Chains A and B, each alone.
Chain A
Amino acid sequence: MDATLKVVSISNATIIFDEVKFTTLNNVTNDGIFSSAKTAVTLAIGLIGIMALWLGIMKIAEESGLISKIALLLKPIMTRIFPDVPAEHPAMGAMIMNISANMLGLSNAATPFGLKAMEHLNSLNKKVGTATDAMCTFLVINTSNVQLIPATVIAIRASLGSHNPTEILGAAIVATTVNTIVGVIVVKLLARLKKYKAESVEQRA
């Protein structure tokens, strides 16, 4: 593609064809599509090591009874948020581990716990390939990111010469608490909508 501007003069009028459209298209095909596809695989492969480590640790925590101990502590809250999941189900323990890891900002540990929780939640799923109410609720808690210490942001602020890098902590905690509460309320309300309800029930009958 000729990248220079083409100027065609017809008597007094001048028509300028600029290259902008071609550049945009180029970005879409190269940067957008291929590098994103590669990134996806790199991310997934990179996750394998971390997954293996934490799933191994999690297995120890499970068998030693540590998880069921923590789960027992949070049982009153969890059974209210996840009424479809039996209180003693292993999904509860995995979800609690995931949420606690997220709160501490340990996202490397949170993902493996979260995926384990999804596996347990899926064992309660009566309709293969369709999300259950509990899964949707769990994901909304995850995406709204209950985080007590946003370490990455604090690090960037410090590196850019902030006089008080941690001053945003309070504001971030309030914002994330509010959106988590709103998220849980919204996900519960949406679950009652006919459209979403029908998708989960049709096979149970």
Chain B
Amino acid sequence: MLYAVEIISLLAIPLLIFFIVAYGAMKKVKVYELFVEGAKEGFNVGVRIIPYLVAMLVAIGVFRASGAMDFLATLLSPITKLIGMPAEALPVAIMRPLSGSGTLGLISEVMKTHGPDSLIGRMVSVIMGSGETTFYVLAVYFGSVSISKTRHAVPAGIIADIVGILMSVWIVNWMFG
């Protein structure tokens, strides 16, 4: 199983690129010219998202470094205990929508301490695997088209994140508990 997953994640991208280019060649479109034409836009998009990304990442950085995140974790801990979520899993859940690398660091730490096959090790794995860096996605996607009024995207995204975390906790307790 692990071997299959490794093969898939290794081959998926080269195969996809090969398939698309081969399909294009088969349909007799100008593969190289079209590639260059499309690729030109890459630079503009990268530059356009910088201000949005700076604003978002600085806000998240301050939230973490100032201790506000730990404070939030302390505040929420009585509630999370009720739903069967161990104290160590809570910072992972809060970090998940904010920073991918931050979450990676946290779950490695938890799994080193408790073992990857412990209940909490499995729980943080599922939280990591079923969530996304919501705020990064919002900043990059909206930033790329210069949208600053995000309307209901943020509350809906946060609600979906919370549901995902509750679901992860419940299903891990149910399957492995």
Within 8 A of A (CB), among B3-38: 5, 8-9, 12-13, 16-17, 20-21, 23-24, 26-27, 29, 31, 34-38
Given contacts A47-B49, A152-B104, are A179 and B13 in contact (CB under 8 A)? no
B53–A129 CB distance below 8 A: no
A183 nearest in chain B by CB position? B160
B75 interface residue (CB < 8 Å to A): no
- Which residue of B9, B35, B49, B156 contacts A57 across the interface (Cβ within 8 Å)? B35
The reply to whether A36 and B61 form a contact with Cβ atoms under 8 Å apart is yes
- Nearest opposing residue in chain B for A36, CB measure: B61
Choose the segment among A4-12, A73-81, A107-115 that binds chain B (4+ C-beta atoms closer than 8 Å).
Answer: A107-115
A87: Cβ under 8 A from any B Cβ: no
Contact call A139/B23, Cβ cutoff below 8 A: no
Size class of the contact patch on chain A:
35 or more
B156 touches A190 (CB 8 A): yes
- Chain B residues lying within 8 Å of A43, measured Cβ to Cβ, are 53, 57
For B12, B27, B151, the residue with the greatest tally of chain A CB atoms inside 10 Å of its CB is: B151
Interchain CB contact under 8 A, A48 and B163? no
The answer to whether B53 touches A131 (Cβ under 8 A) is no
Taking A153-B128, A158-B2, A183-B163 as given, write out 17 further A-B residue pairs in contact, using a Cβ cutoff of 8 Å, ordered by the A residue number: A28-B66, A32-B58, A48-B43, A63-B29, A115-B45, A130-B147, A140-B153, A140-B157, A144-B164, A166-B1, A172-B125, A172-B130, A175-B129, A176-B130, A182-B159, A190-B156, A191-B151
A-B contacts, 8 of them at CB < 8 A, read A24-B66, A56-B34, A61-B23, A64-B27, A150-B125, A150-B128, A156-B116, A172-B130
- Measured CB to CB, the residues of A under 8 A from B are 24, 27-28, 31-33, 35-37, 39-41, 43-45, 47-53, 55-61, 63-66, 104-106, 108-109, 111-112, 114-115, 118-119, 121-122, 125, 128-131, 135-136, 139-140, 142-145, 147, 149-154, 156-158, 160-176, 178-180, 182-183, 186-187, 190-191, 193, 196, 199-200
